[in-house]
Every structure is written in structure tokens, then in C-alpha cells.
Amino acid sequence: MRVLGIESSCDETGLALFDTERGLVADALHSQVDLHATYGGVVPELASRDHSRRLLPLLESVLAEAGWQLDDLDGVAYTAGPGLMGALLVGATFGRSLAFSLGIPALAVHHMEGHLLAPLLEPDPPAFPFVALLVSGGHTLLVDVEGLGRYTLLGESIDDAAGEAFDKTAKLLGLPYPGGPHLAALAQRANPERAACYRFPRPMLDRPGLDFSFSGLKTAVLTATRRAEAEGTLDGEERAAIAAAFEEAVVDTLVRKAERALAQQGRDRLVIAGGVSANQRLREALDARLSPRGARAYLARPALCTDNGAMIAYAGACRLESGQRTGLEIGARPRWPLAELEPATHG
């Protein structure tokens, strides 16, 4: 089955072609970073307008890359939520209408299911069941995954998502949008001895349970930054030290909660997905901490951790292959709990 995937839930337009026989055959992305940079964050109306400008050229580009015609498509999958309503509607309208005009089935994909399944696009994918840690700009979720669409929520952030914490802290440190990758790059340049002078809280680790809280961390960083400023020590090196200590606190919290979830569920496979899973320090820490326990972390390559069309094409292809279809209505759900998804038989 040959499926077009369309992602437009936030500030990236991603299109990809997935063939259930051959795997991923084309993948194209347009990032709106430059468009939103001047505003220090995503401007929803500008995002929607840009998606509508980019979709057709990107479709032409993936078809050319694969050497396919529109007629070669057997299905269209598009992100229908969660995300920005206007941005979602652009992709949903485009995808649903294209499928209708070609007389082929369409599938409305849950963005976080796309993330969750992205590591399965890699060689040596994990078998079900596994625990998934989903860390993006809008969500931090620990999920028990028994199969496609068979998800049990184990824990989530009660305030900021992990990516949001990176972005807000980056802003505090004077770094440009999007903050996460900039903060990670700054942290990499830190002198470990200076970073060790800071120890930020690991929220909710001292309590049982699998929920997260990240909003207190940015206050801790703010306090530390102000103190260093008042003492006249807030140079580039000090900022890097603070960034590294912040990153360490987030990584430590995520890894320890993930270990706890694996133990609770009696699983030894952990899937980590979403934009924050591109973080190098997190990837190293997971490897170091899970292997001695006989557990293993499964991650996608960094380009498939952040938003992309490939994960939507793949999630859509799995569901379409299992016989699921989305009706003719064009809909989008800015809020959409993952646990509401229908199970599917594939995989």
C-alpha cells in the first residue's frame, strides 16, 4: 500500500510517501523557524498561511523524489490533532480533499501516535508490547503500548511539557526560538565543573507515581540567573553552566520516571519519541542507564524525532492496512486524548 502522509499541526509542513512493501520512499519538510523567529514563538495565523503555501510544492517534490504519480497513491493520511486548529485544518482539508478527488481512502492521524510509531521506521524496530515516553513541545506522556492503538496512559505532565520547559528556559537565558536545540547546543559547551555548582530540582521524583512537573524548574533557573547577574558572574560560560544543569535535571527526571514505568509494567523495551528525544544528552543517558538493567531504548533518527510527514504516513499506513477509514467529513481536534484512539489489528 502506498500512502501519502501530511503533517501540519504546528510550525512544520511535512510530507512523505510510505510504501508498506518498500518502506519510506520520500520525505520532505519545510520548517517555519525563520517565519516565527522575530516573534519569539509560533504565531498561529502565520503558521496556517504558510502551510497552505507549502503543501502543493512539497507534494510535487515528494512525488518527484519517489518517481510516483498521484495515481500511484492508495491512501492519504493527515494529522488531525492535537495541535493548532487553523494549522491542522489546512492539512486536513488538503489531505481529505485529495483522497476524495483520487477516490482513495483517507485517515485522520493522531499526532502523538505518529511520534510514538516513528522509531518503528528504523531498522530493528521494537516489538509490541513496550513502554513509550513521548516528549514534545506540547506533551509529556508515559504510555503502556500493547499494540497499535492499544494505549494506557501511565503518567503525564501536570503543567509544562518537557519541550515547553526547554523553550521557556531557553528564552530566560536569552536564546532564540526554537529554544530546545539552542539550549542543548549551549549546554554542550559548558564546563562540567561550573555546571556542577548548580543542582536544579528533579520535580516529583520523591513521590510515587509517573506524573511529571516541569514548571518549577524554570523558576529555579530564573532565580539562579538573577543571582549570577546580581553577583556580576553571568557571562557566556555561566549561562552554559546553567543550561547544562537544567538539561541534566530534565534528562535525569525523564530517565528515572521511564525506568520506574518499565519496572511497574514489567517491560524491557522503551520507545522514546517526540522533539525532545532528539536531545543528545537524553539519548546518551538512556543508553547508559537502561543497558545495565537488560532494558533497551528505541529511538528514531533525530530528523524523525521532531515533527515530520514520515511518521504520519507510517501511522496512517498501519491503520489503513488494518482496514480503518476516516469518513468524508473534514475535521480536526486541537485536543485529543491518545487513549481515545481505536485499536487496530496491524502489528
Helix ranges, 231-276 (H): 236-265
Angle at 285 between CA 284 and CA 290, to 5 degrees: 105
Name the residue with cell 504519480.
69
> Of residues 13, 79, 136, 324, which one binds ligand KG4 by CB under 6 A?
136
Instruction: Tell whether residue 203 is a contact of ligand KG4 (CB under 6 A).
Output: no
Report the C-alpha gap between 343 and 339 in whole angstroms.
10
Q: Of 75 and 181, which CB lies nearer to ligand KG4 in the complex structure?
A: 181
Instruction: Tell whether residue 181 is a contact of ligand KG4 (CB under 6 A).
Output: yes
Neighbour count for residue 278 (Cβ, 10 Å): 22
Report the C-alpha gap between 212 and 203 in whole angstroms.
7
Shortest distance, position 118 Cβ to ligand KG4, whole Å: 10
Strands 2-7 and 269-273 turn out to be unpaired
Contact call for residues 213 and 157 (beta carbons, < 8 A)? yes
Instruction: Tell whether residue 91 is a contact of ligand KG4 (CB under 6 A).
Output: no
Shortest distance, position 185 Cβ to ligand KG4, whole Å: 8
Instruction: Tell whether residue 167 is a contact of Zn ion (CB under 5 A).
Output: no
Shortest distance, position 231 Cβ to ligand KG4, whole Å: 28
Contact call for residues 47 and 34 (beta carbons, < 8 A)? no
Instruction: Tell whether residue 307 is a contact of Zn ion (CB under 5 A).
Output: yes
Using the contact rule CB under 6 A, the part of the chain among 87-95, 123-131, 159-167, 193-201 near ligand KG4 is 159-167
Provide the mask over 132-161, with x wherever binding to Zn ion is found by CB under 5 A and - wherever it is not. Answer: ----x-------------------------
Neighbour count for residue 128 (Cβ, 10 Å): 12
276-295 binders of ligand KG4 (CB under 6 A): 276, 278-279
Count of residues touching ligand KG4 (by CB under 6 A): 21
Name the residue with cell 512539497.
58
Neighbour count for residue 249 (Cβ, 10 Å): 23
Binding residues for Zn ion (CB under 5 A): 136, 307
Binding residues for ligand KG4 (CB under 6 A): 10, 115, 136-138, 163-164, 166-167, 178-181, 184, 274-276, 278-279, 306-307
